[in-house]
């Protein structure tokens, strides 16, 4: 298999989620509630998406996670959820909500577990345009 793309440092021509539109959108007010959960808990992630252009359009919010410290190597950005919204140009800001279950890793015995720690929650229109908040998972 040809996997040299993993190690060459070149950036992709078009990042994941890239696309053209007849309008523009602004992502704002990213938050996670609650900011701390137990290993069996779940958190909700909210972001306001505003159509800032002159035409109606659709936008997809992508939610990525990254565990800052883990017992096994994790991806830098792991796509966990996405949510589409359609809006007309207006000052209103529709809310996109994605429920993120506790981030699971497969440990050495091949069982999925949720490790305590700090997780970066990233949301945006593509993998290169994200805002970030933290979620703390504690052992209970």
Predicted local distance difference test score (pLDDT) of residue 82:
83
Q: Which CATH code fits 23-138? A: 2.60.40.10
Which pLDDT value is given to residue 100? 47
Q: Is 137 exposed, middle or buried (0-12, 13-18, 19+ CB in 10 A)?
A: buried
**Domain segments of the chain as ranges:** 23-138
Taking Cα atoms as reference points, which of 30, 36, 87, 31 lies closest to residue 58? 87
Going from the C-alpha of 62 to that of each of 30, 102, 117, the distances in angstroms are: 12, 17, 22
Cβ 65 vs Cβ 78: under 8 Å: yes
**pLDDT given at position 5:** 55
Taking a C-beta distance cutoff of 8 angstroms, is the pair 136, 36 a contact?
yes
pLDDT of residue 86: 75
Profile the chain (140 residues) by mean pLDDT over runs of 10 residues.
60 82 90 87 85 89 88 83 77 52 57 82 92 88
Cα torsion 35, 31, 95, 79: sign: negative
Q: How far apart are CA 108 and CA 115, in angstroms?
A: 13
Q: Tell me if residue 48 falls in helix, strand or coil.
A: strand
């Amino acid at each position: 298999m040809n996997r040299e793309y993993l190690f060459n440092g070149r950036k992709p021509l078009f990042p994941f989620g890239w696309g053209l539109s007849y309008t523009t959108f602004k992502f704002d007010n990213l938050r996670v509630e609650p900011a701390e959960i137990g290993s069996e808990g779940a958190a909700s992630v909210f972001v306001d998406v505003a159509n800032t252009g002159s035409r109606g359009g659709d936008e997809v919010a992508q939610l990525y996670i990254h565990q800052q410290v883990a017992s096994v190597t994790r991806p830098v950005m792991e796509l966990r959820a996405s949510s589409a919204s359609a809006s007309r140009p207006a000052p209103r800001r529709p809310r996109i909500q994605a429920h993120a279950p506790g981030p699971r890793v497969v440990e050495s015995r091949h069982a999925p577990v949720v490790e305590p720690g700090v997780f970066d929650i990233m949301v945006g229109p593509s993998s290169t345009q994200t805002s970030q908040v933290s979620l703390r998972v504690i052992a209970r």
